Chains A and B, each alone.
Chain A
Amino acid sequence: MALRLSRQGDRALSIKLDTISKNFGGFTALGNINLEIEPGEFLALLGPSGSGKTTLLRIIAGLEFPDTGRVYYDGDDITDLKVADRGVGFVFQHYALFRHMTVADNVAFGLTVRKRRDRPAKSVIQARVQELLDLVQLGHLGKRYPAQLSGGQRQRVALARALAVEPRLLLLDEPFGALDARVRKDLRRWLRELHDSVGLTSIFVTHDQDEALELADRVVVMDHGVIEQIDTPQKIYDEPASAFVFDFVGESNQVAVTIAGGEARLFDRTLPLPAGTTLPGDGPARLFFRPHDAEIVADDKAGLAATVTLTRPNSGSIRVEGKLDGLDRLVEIDVPVEGAPQVGERIIVRPTRVKLYAGRAEA
């Protein structure tokens, strides 16, 4: 895909958030957020609804103001600067296109509202709009109205409109949330290419872990207004910093155990753990493992006993669902097609890679 926009790499913005807090009438949306974002970085804010991710994005944009804490762009304190003066591109979840304006007028908006002395000539604006529409592959639809476009097309118009003002920072609120799965996947890849070629700093909010892991350089996992982990997608997936992150990112199995004397115990029995597993301190703990980090073994002392309740194909392997003995919990593992168990069969599940976190499961 040819992207013709000139690189602005050296213009990309660095951002620093210093102890940002925000309350909405007694509800703590954000509590003491510290975050530094590198110039040119593609960052994902990932979390469930109510985790504060959108509020954080809006504070970075200047659409919302923090109760305490400061926001820095390239080291400058811009906390009190209004959104109109920050020079950011913001893409809204529901596009927020001006429906009474043509696509071209929408894209031109950021240029046409400038004061006369800063406003480019009409012909310059026209050329710029055409360039941007070509960039988002909608060069032929400039005369249409937003209502005449599909969701994916509208989202691209919104992007072109945000890029028209040559922002040094692109902020996207659930950019693919309202699109169907196929369009979403295409747009994702396209957005990543766009980010790389334009060379600005981008931050997007999502509740979709796949989206965050696939697109971002770094992922910020949030829950209840605090940051749980900031890391590369690989590290987020392989080394979740908390039980919440393990549970929220990727598929997982969870078993409540007790740590005592350097061992994990379940029903007064020692649970053999893979070599190299780090144990938390004595007390209740939560053991997590991914479906693909487990195998079926014969030795009934080597793992967790379960009864198979369901099997189904899962991209090249068989997903086995079983009910754990003595626990009101299901376990899900992926096993090779060869020798996969039948429904009703008793199996022993041995996790090959686990993470343990101190504490009890919530509710």
Chain B
Amino acid sequence: MRNGATSESRLARATIMTLGLGFLGLFLVMPLLVVFAQALASGIGAYADAVLEPDALAAMKLTLTVAAISVPLNIAFGVAAAWAITKFDFPGKSILITFIDLPFSVSPVVSGLIYVLLFGAQGWLGPWLAEHDVQIIFAVPGIVLATVFVTFPFVARELIPLMAEQGRDDEEAALSLGASGWQAFWHATLPNIRWGLLYGVLLCNARAMGEFGAVSVVSGHIRGETNTMPLHVEILYNEYNFVAAFAVASLLALLALVTLVLKSFLEWRYDYHGKGTGH
């Protein structure tokens, strides 16, 4: 039976699907299963011990703290940048767009090193900071800075095309009706971008909690103090404590799964809202 120009023979279809699914299974599903299998290899008791151990709890707390600081910062930055880029014309606009992408194109190690060079003991601002007793590198502020840097394109990148497509009409309508700039943003812009914004926040959060490279450079790996969850996993792994390493890793894997589910939901809402509104 032929279905049309794009239909292939049964054999070709089967081959392509096998390839696709096989690849997916080998590189995504199997590792995920291994994580959980390893985590539970010594039973649920060992799993609970590994997860509830003080250093693990500290790592979790730190990871949540870092995300709780850096995600709101990047929401503010991302919305402001997208707003400026799409609603106004100003010199240097294309440079700003290019710079927003910088964290994506640069290696996370470099992202971390930037801050060591800036704020480290031998860095430009190091002596001044030491004098005033402010510790940034090998402390929580450095981890937050590195995380903010690495995650800063997510919200802006998500919003720029969306806001560009929606144009300025709604804001101009609000302004012409006497609204202040803030009211125009709150009543006209934000409702139009809320699903896109949530989507960006979700990805930003996933990355903020999962970031390894840049954070590893600035963290100093002090157990119970400057170890985030990914760093804690690495340390446990390097100590051949596989059960504990995979137990903590399984939490990160769960985070990824939850993110995926939420992401699908948001994509669905997003599509649903984008259509049928006459735009």
A residues adjacent to B (C-beta < 8 A): 61-63, 82-85, 87-90, 92, 94, 96-101, 109-110, 113-114, 146-147, 151, 154, 158, 161-162, 164-165
CA distance in complex: A161, B170 (Å)? 13
In the complex, are the beta carbons of A114 and B178 less than 8 A apart? yes
Q: B45 in the interface, Cβ–Cβ < 8 Å?
A: no
In the complex, are the beta carbons of A99 and B277 less than 8 A apart? yes
Q: How many residues of B contact A (CB 8 A)?
A: 20
In the complex, are the beta carbons of B176 and A88 less than 8 A apart? yes
Given A84-B180, A96-B169, A98-B170 in contact, is the A109-B278 Cβ separation under 8 Å?
no
Given A98-B188, A113-B180, A165-B178 in contact, is the A92-B173 Cβ separation under 8 Å?
yes
Task: Please tell me which one of the listed residues B169, B191, B278, B279 contacts residue A100 in the complex, with CB atoms under 8 A apart.
Answer: B191
In the complex, are the beta carbons of A61 and B188 less than 8 A apart? no
Q: B172 in the interface, Cβ–Cβ < 8 Å?
A: yes
In the complex, are the beta carbons of B176 and A90 less than 8 A apart? yes
Q: B179 in the interface, Cβ–Cβ < 8 Å?
A: yes
In the complex, are the beta carbons of A90 and B170 less than 8 A apart? no
In the complex, are the beta carbons of A113 and B172 less than 8 A apart? no
Interface secondary structure of B, over-half rule: helix
In the complex, are the beta carbons of A165 and B177 less than 8 A apart? yes
Scan residues 191-239 of chain B and give those whose CB is less than 8 A from a CB of chain A. 191-192
Residue of B nearest to A118 (CB): B178
Scan residues 144-184 of chain B and give those whose CB is less than 8 A from a CB of chain A. 169-170, 172-180, 183
Q: In the assembled complex, which residues on chain B have CB atoms less than 8 Å from the CB atom of A85? A: 178
Q: In the assembled complex, which residues on chain A have CB atoms less than 8 Å from the CB atom of B279? A: 94, 99
CA distance in complex: A158, B278 (Å)? 14
Nearest-Cβ distance from residue A34 to partner chain B, whole angstroms: 25
CA distance in complex: A89, B276 (Å)? 27
Jot down 27 A-B pairs with beta carbons below 8 A, ordered by A: A61-B176, A62-B176, A63-B175, A63-B176, A83-B176, A84-B175, A84-B177, A87-B178, A89-B176, A96-B172, A96-B173, A98-B170, A98-B187, A98-B188, A98-B191, A99-B279, A109-B174, A109-B187, A110-B178, A113-B174, A113-B180, A147-B278, A154-B278, A161-B173, A162-B177, A165-B177, A165-B178
In the complex, are the beta carbons of A113 and B173 less than 8 A apart? no
Interface centre among A84, A87, A92, A110 (most CB of B within 10 A): A84
In the complex, are the beta carbons of A63 and B172 less than 8 A apart? yes
Q: In the assembled complex, which residues on chain B have CB atoms less than 8 Å from the CB atom of A82? A: 175
CA distance in complex: A63, B184 (Å)? 14
Nearest-Cβ distance from residue B94 to partner chain A, whole angstroms: 13
Scan residues 252-279 of chain B and give those whose CB is less than 8 A from a CB of chain A. 276-279
In the complex, are the beta carbons of A147 and B176 less than 8 A apart? no
Q: In the assembled complex, which residues on chain A have CB atoms less than 8 Å from the CB atom of B187? A: 98, 101, 109, 113
Residue of A nearest to B172 (CB): A63
Known: A92-B169, A147-B278. 6 other contacts (CB 8 A): A87-B178, A90-B176, A98-B174, A113-B180, A114-B178, A165-B178
